[in-house]
Structure 1
Amino acid sequence: MTEVEVLELLVSPAHRLAGRPADGPAPGPRDERVTRVEVRDGLGLVGDRYYARPAHRNAAVTMMAAEHLPPGADLRHTRRNVLLRGVDIDAYLGSTISLDCGTGPVVFVVKRPARPCAWMDVTIGPGAQRALRGRGGVRCTPVSDGVLTVGPAVFRVVAGPDAA
């Protein structure tokens, strides 16, 4: 069990980083960050562009460690869903983890890396894609229903190589 902080949550109804990075992001809401989000088992984050999409069910939620985010950047730049401080989430590939923001644990299977793409050089700045290699976050499958909120949380490894 580790005390962590959920710094930001992003729920984006549209895929804004599509096409060629040189063309810039697609128009959309100025800020898609929220303070609370509902998570659904096997479906993702309610209201997000990948919610209940069959092609994305095994990677519907992306998490990133704040310690790896370049200064001045936030979830609007990386298009990840959950920004955590206090845990190197990239180290938990293949594990089942839980986050409890005070409303009960929400369980996720950490499936694969969320590899940074060329868009990072546009949204964050030149060299960001290279700097985030191996530290761009992870793609997860939610395996329980629940709620995530910005603020303090408890991180626990439920199953996997580092399970207690």
Structure 2
Amino acid sequence: MTEVEVLQLLVSPAHRLAGRPADGPAPGPSDERVARVEVRRRLGLVGDRYYARPAHRDASVTIMAVERLPMGIDPSADLRHTRRNILLRGVDIDSLVGATISLDSGAGAVTFAVNRPARPCAWMDVTIGPGAQRALRGGGGVRCTPLSDGVLTLGPATFEVVGEPGAMT
């Protein structure tokens, strides 16, 4: 097990980065960051725009490492800019595609299948700044499916790889 920190959680009811990046983000709540999220097996984060959407069940939760944020482009870059759901400190999440992971912030472990990279798009150059899309290549986070119900909160957490990439879990 590895000690990590859940730095931010984002649950957004609105899809704010639709259409052309040149048009800018759609309006929405000023801050969708929350201190606690409810995770539902195979459905996602309760209240999020991808919750229970069939087209997104294999990618309903996106996890990112703070160490990969392009702070040199914008020191204030965070989940509001990347539109990821969970921001962790202390683990190279991008290297775990294909694995099954467990994250426990104190209310019990929540497991996720790490399905594929969350590839950065042209929106990153708009929301963070020019060059962000390129800076995030290979480090834009991972798209996951929740494999268990649970609750995640901000703060210290334990992280574990419970199924190696390529293993049947």
> For this structure pair, what is the TM-score category when the shorter chain's length is used for normalisation?
over 0.9
1:120 counterpart SS class = helix
1:73 maps to a residue whose letter is A
TM-score, normalised to structure 1, is: 0.98
2:54 maps to a residue whose letter is P
Moved over 6 A (4+): none
Equivalence map 1:60-139=2 (5 Å):
60-71=60-71, 72-139=76-143
2:95 counterpart SS class = helix
CA–CA distance in 2 between the matches of 1:100 and 1:125? 33
Give CA deviations for 1:129-161 in whole Å, capped at 9, x if unaligned: 001000000000000000010100000001114
After the TM superposition, which of the residue ranges 63-72 and 134-143 deviates more from structure 2? 63-72
CA–CA distance in 2 between the matches of 1:18 and 1:129? 16
1:12 aligned partner: 12
1:47 aligned partner: 47
2:37 counterpart SS class = strand
Identity among equivalent positions (%) equals: 81
Q: Per-residue deviation at 1:162? A: 9.8
1:91 counterpart SS class = helix
Structure 1 unaligned regions, length at least 5: none
TM-score, normalised to structure 2, is: 0.95
Superposed CA RMSD in Å reads 1.1
Q: Per-residue deviation at 1:126? A: 0.1
